[in-house]
Structure 1
Amino acid sequence: MTSILTNISAMSALQTLRSINSDMKDTQSSVSSGLRVGQASDNVAYWSISTTMKSDNKALGAATDALGVGAAKVDTAYAAMDSAIDVVNEIKAKLTTASESSVDKKQVQLEIDKLQEQLTAIGQAASFNGENWMVNDTKATVVDGFIRKEDGTVKVNTAEFQAGSYAMFSTIASGVGSGGILNAVMTIELTSVTTQGQIDTFLNTVQTALDNLTDGAAALGALKTRIDMQDDFSSKLSDAIKSGVSRLVDADMEEESARLSALQTQQQLAVQSLSIANSGSQQLLSLFRG
Structure 2
Amino acid sequence: MSSILTNNGAMVALQTLKTINSGLLDTQSEISTGKSVSSAKDNSAIWAISKVMESDVKGFNAISESLSLGESTVAVARQGAETVTDLLTQIKGKVVSAQEENVDREKIQTDIDALTSQISSVVGAAQFNGLNMLKGTDSVDILSSLDRLSDGSVSASNISIARADLSDSAGTYGTGTSLSANATASAGAIANTGNTEAITFADSTDMSGDDFQITVAGSTLNFSAGTFAASDTEELAIDQIAGQINALGLEGVSATRNGSDLEITSTRAFETVDVDFSGSPVSDDSVEISERAENVTFSSVSKVNSGDGYRVTLGSDVATYVAGEGETFEDVANGLKAAIDAAEIEGISTRVTTNNNGEQVLKIDNDSGTPVSTFTAVGAQDGTASGGLFGLDGIDVTSDQGAEAALDNVEILIQNSIDAAAEFGSAQGRIETQSDFIGKLTDSLKSGIGTLVDADMEEASARLQALQVQQQLGVQALSIANQAPQNILSLFR
Provide the TM-score with structure 1 as the length reference: 0.93
Q: What secondary structure sits across from 2:426 in the alignment?
A: helix
Mapped partners of 1:139, 1:238: distance in 2: 28
| 1:110-169 Cα shifts (integer Å, max 9, x gaps) | 111101100100011101000001112211222222221222122221111221xx2202
Q: How many aligned positions are there?
A: 280
Match of 2:390 in 1: 183
Residue 64 and residue 14 in structure 1: after superposition, are their counterparts in 2 closer, same or farther (change >3 A)? same
Amino acid paired to 1:222: S
CA RMSD, 1 decimal = 1.6
Return 148-157 or 2-11, whichever deviates more.
Answer: 148-157
Q: What secondary structure sits across from 1:180 in the alignment?
A: coil
2:168/2:393 contact within 8 Å kept: no
Amino acid paired to 1:249: V
Residue 30 and residue 155 in structure 1: after superposition, are their counterparts in 2 closer, same or farther (change >3 A)? same
Larger-gyration structure (1/2) = 2
Mapped partners of 2:168, 2:434: distance in 1: 30
Matched, 1:225 2:429: yes
Match of 2:472 in 1: 268
Amino acid paired to 2:390: N
Structure with greater contact order relative to length (CA < 8 Å, sep ≥ 6): 1
| 1:42-91 Cα shifts (integer Å, max 9, x gaps) | 00110000000001011001101111101101110011001000110111
Residue 209 and residue 142 in structure 1: after superposition, are their counterparts in 2 closer, same or farther (change >3 A)? same
Q: Percent identity?
A: 42
Matched, 1:205 2:409: yes
Matched, 1:277 2:275: no
Q: What is the deviation of 1:2?
A: 1.1
Mapped partners of 1:181, 1:12: distance in 2: 89
Amino acid paired to 1:167: D
Mapped partners of 2:23, 2:6: distance in 1: 27
Structure 1 runs of 4+ off > 2 angstroms? none
Structure 1 gaps of 5+ residues are: 173-177
Residue 148 and residue 169 in structure 1: after superposition, are their counterparts in 2 closer, same or farther (change >3 A)? same
Match of 1:58 in 2: 58
Mapped partners of 1:25, 1:150: distance in 2: 37
Mapped partners of 1:273, 1:254: distance in 2: 29
Mapped partners of 1:81, 1:151: distance in 2: 44
Amino acid paired to 1:168: L
Structure 2 gaps of 5+ residues are: 171-384
Match of 1:175 in 2: none
Q: What secondary structure sits across from 2:439 in the alignment?
A: helix
Mapped partners of 1:129, 1:161: distance in 2: 16
Q: What secondary structure sits across from 2:131 in the alignment?
A: coil
Q: What is the deviation of 1:9?
A: 0.6
Q: What is the deviation of 1:171?
A: 5.8
Match of 1:237 in 2: 441
2:145/2:157 contact within 8 Å kept: yes
Matched, 1:162 2:147: no
Q: What is the deviation of 1:170?
A: 7.2
1:49-128 superposed matches below 5 A: 49-128=49-128
1:135/1:171 contact within 8 Å kept: no
Q: What is the deviation of 1:186?
A: 2.0
| 1:13-35 Cα shifts (integer Å, max 9, x gaps) | 00000111011000100010000
Mapped partners of 2:393, 2:146: distance in 1: 42
1:135/1:170 contact within 8 Å kept: no
Match of 2:361 in 1: none
Return 178-187 or 105-114, whichever deviates more.
Answer: 178-187
Amino acid paired to 2:460: E
Amino acid paired to 1:209: L
1:6-25 superposed matches below 5 A: 6-25=6-25
Amino acid paired to 2:419: D
Mapped partners of 1:281, 1:33: distance in 2: 43
Mapped partners of 1:179, 1:80: distance in 2: 19
Q: What secondary structure sits across from 1:143 in the alignment?
A: strand
2:147/2:157 contact within 8 Å kept: yes
Provide the TM-score with structure 2 as the length reference: 0.55
Matched, 1:249 2:456: no
| 1:196-239 Cα shifts (integer Å, max 9, x gaps) | x4322211111111111111111111111111111111111111
Mapped partners of 1:32, 1:214: distance in 2: 60
Q: What is the deviation of 1:11?
A: 0.6
